[in-house]
């Protein structure tokens, strides 16, 4: 069982800077996320709530719904589209069916360091992606991070692609992730995040992959004995607003939400990274066996999974991939 209370050791929520924004009307934002209250994402949302409530002088109220209680990533997005939910921040991966270029972020081993992800997300490419995702009833206003994904399973230590043979791995609802695990020799199956804990507990799947902080905050370590520090994909969170709600907001409040989303994204990434090593250690302390890979072992995964780049190059755009690789 989990002992340490990670939340208490998270970097504190910063003070709010910025003037009060005067505009007409009172508004309520229900903000739903898939990860639970003890994760970095929720901490970021608390900061967002504080900024928005304080700078709107209480005229915008934010209510937080963690742990997929209002639905998983895809369900929350469709609630935004129909206008029954105001905000959510899903992993980009389940949205690839709507925004094909988001497949960029699912390419294995694309970002060698978090700073490269920052440069891409906070630069022109990230801006273009936000604009492209601002359609179909959605307005995209910022980036945060889920982070580097790590493999866990209930069967055995994994240090090579060969060790994956026959392992049933849950993936996000995303065709690139399916391709990755098939190419590596595992037996992947897509599944909603909301169903994942039970599926692991009941042995419907043997394993899954998520960042350490999400593994801990969802208690997957209680039903998974083995983990591999694979860092195989870096997953961003994208901050989305319902377009129906957005269009009711005065422009000054729209601008306030944009600023708050940017500040949340910076802070949440800081929290996520500051917590990463500590949480990995807490997972070890809780009894999880974590396999760290040597550079040669990482290379074996990278070489085996390389064909995935060719399979998705046309959909993503070769130039875009080359541009990102040039940043690295």
**Which residues 18-37 are close enough to bind ligand EAX by CB under 6 A?**
34-35
* CB neighbour burial string for 288-315, b if at least 16 within 10 angstroms, e if fewer: bebbebeeebbebbeebbeebbeebeee
For ligand EAX, which is the closer residue by CB, 60 or 130? Answer: 130
Give min distance, CB of 261 to ligand EAX, in A: 17
- Residue list 167-196, contact with ligand EAX (CB under 6 A): 172, 193
DSSP bridge partners of 319: none
Using rule CB under 6 A, residue 45 touches ligand EAX? no
Say how far apart CA 176 and CA 147 lie, in whole Å. 17
Q: Is residue 138 within the footprint of ligand EAX (CB under 6 A)?
A: no
Helix, coil or strand: residue 302: helix
Degrees to nearest 5, angle at CA 225 with 219 and 228: 95
Q: Which is nearer to ligand EAX, 133 or 249 (CB)?
A: 133
Name the burial class of residue 131, with classes exposed (0-12), middle (13-18) and buried (19+) by CB atoms within 10 angstroms of its CB.
exposed
Q: How near is the Cβ of 43 to ligand EAX at its closest, in Å? A: 15
Q: Does 153 bind ligand EAX (CB under 6 A)?
A: no
Q: 44, 71, 90, 207: which one contacts ligand EAX (CB under 6 A)? A: 90
The answer to the question of residue 106 lying near ligand EAX (CB under 6 A) is no
Tokens of 155: 């069967």
Residues 101 and 129 sit within 8 Å (Cβ to Cβ): yes
- Near ligand EAX by CB under 6 A: residue from 32, 154, 214, 216: 214
Closest distance to ligand EAX from the beta carbon of 101 (Å): 18
- Cβ 211 to ligand EAX, closest distance in Å? 7
Min separation Cβ 170 and ligand EAX, Å:
8
**Nearer to ligand EAX (CB atom), residue 194 or residue 300:** 194
CB atoms within 10 A of CB 92: 25
Nearer to ligand EAX among residue 146 and residue 239 (C-beta): 146
Tell me which residue has tokens 């988001």.
102
Does position 152 bind ligand EAX by CB under 6 A?
no
By CB under 6 A, the residues from 276 to 315 that bind ligand EAX are none
Enumerate the β-bridge partners of residue 234: 148
**Contacts with ligand EAX: how many residues (CB under 6 A)?**
10
In sequence order, the β-bridge partners of residue 239 are 142
Q: Torsions phi, psi of 169, nearest 5?
A: -110, 125
Asked if residue 217 binds ligand EAX (CB under 6 A), the reply is no
Q: Which residue is nearest to ligand EAX (CB)?
A: 34
Distance of closest approach, residue 48 Cβ to ligand EAX, in angstroms: 16
Given a contact cutoff of 8 angstroms between Cβ atoms, the answer to whether 232 and 302 are in contact is no
User: For residues 60 and 140, which CB has a smaller minimum distance to ligand EAX in the complex?
Assistant: 140
* Binds ligand EAX by CB under 6 A, chosen from 32, 91, 228, 242: 91
Write b or e for each residue in 98-111: b if 16 or more Cβ atoms lie within 10 A of its Cβ, otherwise e: ebebbbbbbbbbbb
Total number of residues shown for the chain: 328
Q: Which pair of tokens denotes residue 22?
A: 């005067």
Residues that bind ligand EAX in the complex, under the rule CB under 6 A: 34-35, 73, 90-91, 146, 172, 193, 210, 214
């Amino acid at each position: 069982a989990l002992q340490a209370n990670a939340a208490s050791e998270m970097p504190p929520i910063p003070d709010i800077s910025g003037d009060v924004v005067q505009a007409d009307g009172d508004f309520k934002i229900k903000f739903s996320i898939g990860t639970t209250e003890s994760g970095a994402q929720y901490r970021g949302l608390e900061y967002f709530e504080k900024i928005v409530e304080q700078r709107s002088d209480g005229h915008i109220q934010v209510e937080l719904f963690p742990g997929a209680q209002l639905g998983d990533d895809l369900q929350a997005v469709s609630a935004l589209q129909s206008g029954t939910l105001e905000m959510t921040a899903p992993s980009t991966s389940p949205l690839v069916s709507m925004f094909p270029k988001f497949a960029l972020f699912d390419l294995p081993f694309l970002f060698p360091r978090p700073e490269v992800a920052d440069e891409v997300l906070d630069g022109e490419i990230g801006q273009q992606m936000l604009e492209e995702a601002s359609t179909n009833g959605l307005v995209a206003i910022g980036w945060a991070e889920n982070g580097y994904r790590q493999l866990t399973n209930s069967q055995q230590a994994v240090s090579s692609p060969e060790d994956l043979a026959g392992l049933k791995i849950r993936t996000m609802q995303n065709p690139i992730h399916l391709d990755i695990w098939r190419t590596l020799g595992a037996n992947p199956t897509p599944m909603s995040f909301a169903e994942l804990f039970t599926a692991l507990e009941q042995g419907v799947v043997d394993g899954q992959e998520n960042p350490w902080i999400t593994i801990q905050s969802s208690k997957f370590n209680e039903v998974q004995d083995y983990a591999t520090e694979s860092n195989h994909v870096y997953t961003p969170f994208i901050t989305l607003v319902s377009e129906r709600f957005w269009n009711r907001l005065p422009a000054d409040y729209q601008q306030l939400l944009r600023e708050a989303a940017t500040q949340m994204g910076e802070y949440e990434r800081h929290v996520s990274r500051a917590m990463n090593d500590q949480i990995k250690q807490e997972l070890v302390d809780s009894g999880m066996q974590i396999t760290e890979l040597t550079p040669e072992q990482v290379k074996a995964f990278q070489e085996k999974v390389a064909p995935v780049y060719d399979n998705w190059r046309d959909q993503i755009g070769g130039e875009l991939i080359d541009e990102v690789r040039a940043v690295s």
